[in-house]
Amino acid sequence: MLKRGLIGLLALVVITAGAFWLLSAPQRLDAAALPAEGSGDAARGERLFWAGGCVSCHAPSSAKGDDRLKLTGGDPLVTDFGTFHAPNISPDPKDGIGAWSLADFANAMQRGVDPEGRHLYPAFPYTSYAHMRPGDIADLFAYLKTLPPVGGRAPDNELAFPFNIRRGLGLWKRAFMDGPGPIAALPADASSAVKAGQYLVEGPGHCGQCHTPRTLAGAGGLDLTHWLGGAPNPEGKGRVPNITPGGSEISAWSQSDIVEYLTSGFTPEFDSVGGAMVEVQQNLARLPDEDRTAIAAYLKAIAPVSD
């Protein structure tokens, strides 16, 4: 009796472990659909680099001027699940990503899988970058290769059980990775500016990572029924505001007020941008005017979420 029970339990453990292993396996991009190695254009990639805000996490905040382009890893990212350290992504062949192929890079950016097949944590916003066009990933990779290679590794993440088990992220991704295709449903006659803004906001700009609430008390995916509708601050203090046309503050802003905010950091009342948005705004200020106009047009066009 006891023996049968034990065998049954053992079988259950083996089956569960097997199912876990299968379901949590890394999913890579279809190699045939990737652009050719070396096909990227670095000049075009610079725009995606600023839209994507890579410096905010991969360079220390104390670095100024050209030192910002030394992507040796950034300030610790302190969250409810533990502390993450964004790694060295400079073109250093040993400590950075200098020895990576375009396919390695694309799989990290769009599937959250590193070259050894390990899952990456979604603190790296690849669920948004997954919406980027393959050609843009190639351009961004070409640009990163023009930056200075710097040695040195960031410290390991400090996470509590069970969040420290990378393999478990496979299950998280199955449940929460965005499907392909755009997030917000736009009217069929949306202007080309609105569509360009959609790509920038939902893809490289990863605005939803901060401005959209998450399911499962912050551990799940983005709650798309409240897309850009405001969320608790992931770093613990205060709130990230609602930026849909239903937001209590932004509803009174014109499209050009939003453009001005993204350009200079001043609101229509001449209050100044603060918190985590400062870095985002300073990155966006480096884009051409048409990109900020497109972002503002999109924010005006999406469905309002009430505050």
Partner 1 sequence: MPASRSRFLVAALAVACSFAPALAQNLDAISARQQLMKDNGRAAKTAAQMIKGDVAYDPAKADEVFATLHETAVKFGDYFPEDSKTGGKTEAAPAIWDKPDAFKAALAKFQSDTEAAMAKKPQDVDAFKQAFGMVAQNCKGCHQDFRVER
Instruction: State which of residues 273, 282, 300, 307 lies at the interface with ligand HEC (CB under 6 A).
Output: 273
Q: Which option in partner 1, ligand HEC, none does residue 199 bind, with CB closer than 5 to 8 A by kind?
A: none
Q: Does the protein bind ligand HEC through residue 211 (CB under 6 A)?
A: yes
Q: Which option in partner 1, ligand HEC, none does residue 114 bind, with CB closer than 5 to 8 A by kind?
A: ligand HEC
Site string for ligand HEC, 226-255 (x = CB under 6 A): --------------xx-x---x-xx-----
233: tokens are: 């601050």
Contact residues for partner 1 (CB under 8 A)? Answer: 233, 237-241, 264-266, 269-276, 278-279, 281-282
DSSP per residue over the chain, as a string?
Answer: -HHHHHHHHHHHHHHHHHHHHHHTS-----GGGSPPTT---HHHHHHHHHHHTHHHHHS-TT--GGGGG--S--S-EEETTEEE-----SS-TTTSSTT--HHHHHHHHHH-B-TTSPBPPTTS-HHHHTTS-HHHHHHHHHHHTTSPP----PPPPEE-TTTT-GGGHHHHHHHHSPPSS-SS---TT--HHHHHHHHHHHTTT-THHHHS-BSGGGTS-B-GGGTTS-EE-TTSSSEEPP-STT-TTGGG--HHHHHHHHHHSB-TT--B--TTHHHHHHHHTTS-HHHHHHHHHHHHHSPP---
Min CB(176)–partner 1 separation in Å: 26
Q: Which option in partner 1, ligand HEC, none does residue 157 bind, with CB closer than 5 to 8 A by kind?
A: ligand HEC
Burial (CB count within 10 angstroms: exposed 0-12, middle 13-18, buried 19+), residue 32: exposed
Q: Which option in partner 1, ligand HEC, none does residue 207 bind, with CB closer than 5 to 8 A by kind?
A: ligand HEC
Q: Does the protein bind ligand HEC through residue 305 (CB under 6 A)?
A: no
Q: Which option in ligand HEC, partner 1, none does residue 261 bind, with CB closer than 5 to 8 A by kind?
A: ligand HEC
Q: Which option in ligand HEC, partner 1, none does residue 237 bind, with CB closer than 5 to 8 A by kind?
A: partner 1
Min CB(12)–ligand HEC separation in Å: 31
- Residue 227 vs 261, nearer CB to ligand HEC: 261
Q: Does the protein bind ligand HEC through residue 210 (CB under 6 A)?
A: yes
77: tokens are: 């990212």
Binding region for ligand HEC (CB under 6 A) = 52-54, 56-58, 77, 84, 86-87, 89, 97, 105, 108, 114, 120-121, 123-125, 140, 157, 201, 205-207, 209-211, 240-241, 243, 247, 249-250, 258, 261, 270-277, 280, 284, 295
